[in-house]
Structure 1
């Protein structure tokens, strides 16, 4: 049964933002990176950063206490003084917290929550319940480095976080980087590896007619953790969705990505959706990127006869930087002839105070 869409209150200057570590304790290992992220969120957006108990916990303590991590999330939702929640970083096993989450608490206190990578588990699960969630940068990965990226990134973040636009056109960044300079060296805090020109921008394939649907997705490897479980959406969930997938720093091969995508075809999902968005894969060579495109297109067209929806490659979300923010549950319109992807509804409620 389709859940009612639940939008959240927009953030603003002075908003109280809870910082949580639902996956990994890297804030305790690289405090200078973590604190730079907090500083940027405070200085650039005017947020009041509220560190929750898990935020600086050691990785071993987080690993052995999935229930504690879930309770941190629930406290942040339940606390009326908190306006939003942002993850410190990703990880690899936040799927273990799902059984401890009380969805009644979360859905009765809807609010902004953002992360990426391993946060895919709970961001996608919350959206299954109807909550609009945000796939975007974390405190340590993307926000700590923002001042060392092009100004267009800061503008995008402000447009997405602080404004209540009825529509928003996503634009490719002019340059991108695959990662950050050595986190173990405090002298390099916030600095990025080499930037490359993004010459091709978004790359549109298959059908060139406009199409629209609700965003849903995340890290394709992490989504494997919940396939076939009670946290996976029901068959009727997939109609009129635009799926978005990205790959992690583990760099799965193009063929491995194909294995995962093929499962969506076997489930009938690829024949239900209205579009497919694929992020620029981190650390792929140009040859590997071309291999990925061919594998994806062969699966879509030859294996499952999906030829009437747009497929877009080289998008700026996921594990390369700068990152776009994608709100799960909100409608995007893909217009291939115009090289345009437009968010056609605000992710925020009109009931903001």
Structure 2
């Protein structure tokens, strides 16, 4: 592993699934909430991550460490169910340690747009000061980056110039 932070950059194009033949132009990262954050990476699929809350599989060794949530959806959920899953995560005790959120690229059939996702995030008072970057190349689209669960990350969410770094700790 390299000692320097590793910067993630958005792909220029992506495919809706591994088997899809149509290349889609990527609009880049979406800044939903501006700000900076650093913390331990935990998360996964919205629904699966919610199922793990309160169990020994919730990926938490230190209940005081700052967190960066990484969340994605497999396309089977409607955007309104994503809103509900997000609210369930906000209600969990660990959420008080969340310093930032990354959301993976949504598959086209979810009908999730930047404007719609921004509207959902902005309705959550608990997210008002949490930097959120969406349309990141992880989850169910191709290409996808593998993110280090319980690794460390720094995010800088700023309009049109978001930066995401995987850190060596």
Report runs of 4+ in structure 1 exceeding 6 Å deviation: none
- Structure 2 residue corresponding to 1:341, chosen from 158, 164, 168: 164
1:261 maps to 86
Aligned mates of 1:172, 1:342 — CA distance in 2: 12
Two-structure CA RMSD over aligned residues (Å): 2.3
**How far did residue 237 of structure 1 move?**
2.7
Counterpart secondary structure, 2:139: coil
**How far did residue 225 of structure 1 move?**
2.9
Aligned mates of 2:151, 2:61 — CA distance in 1: 19
- Structure 1 residue corresponding to 2:11, chosen from 159, 173, 185: 173
Aligned mates of 1:217, 1:321 — CA distance in 2: 19
2:43 maps to 217
Q: Contact 2:133–2:162 (CA<8 Å) still a contact in 1? A: no
Q: Structure 2 unaligned segments of length 5 or more: list them.
A: none
**How far did residue 335 of structure 1 move?**
1.5
Q: Contact 1:216–1:329 (CA<8 Å) still a contact in 2? A: yes
**How far did residue 344 of structure 1 move?**
2.2
Name the larger-Rg structure. 1
**1:40-95 CA distance string (max 9 Å, x none):** xxxxxxxxxxxxxxxxxxxxxxxxxxxxxxxxxxxxxxxxxxxxxxxxxxxxxxxx
1:206 equivalent in alignment to 2:42? no
1:314 equivalent in alignment to 2:142? no
**How far did residue 292 of structure 1 move?**
3.0
More helix by share: 1
**How far did residue 291 of structure 1 move?**
2.5
Q: Contact 2:14–2:143 (CA<8 Å) still a contact in 1? A: yes
1:293 maps to 118
Q: Structure 1 unaligned segments of length 5 or more: list them.
A: 1-162, 182-191, 347-353
Aligned mates of 1:335, 1:174 — CA distance in 2: 20
Distance 1:168 1:212, change over 3 A: same
Aligned mates of 2:121, 2:128 — CA distance in 1: 12
1:229 maps to 55
Question: TM-score, with normalisation over the residues of structure 2?
Answer: 0.85
2:23 maps to 195
Higher relative contact order (CA 8 A, sep 6+): 2
Distance 1:195 1:238, change over 3 A: farther
Counterpart secondary structure, 1:225: helix
2:150 maps to 329
More strand by share: 2
Q: Contact 1:216–1:244 (CA<8 Å) still a contact in 2? A: yes
Aligned mates of 2:61, 2:83 — CA distance in 1: 21
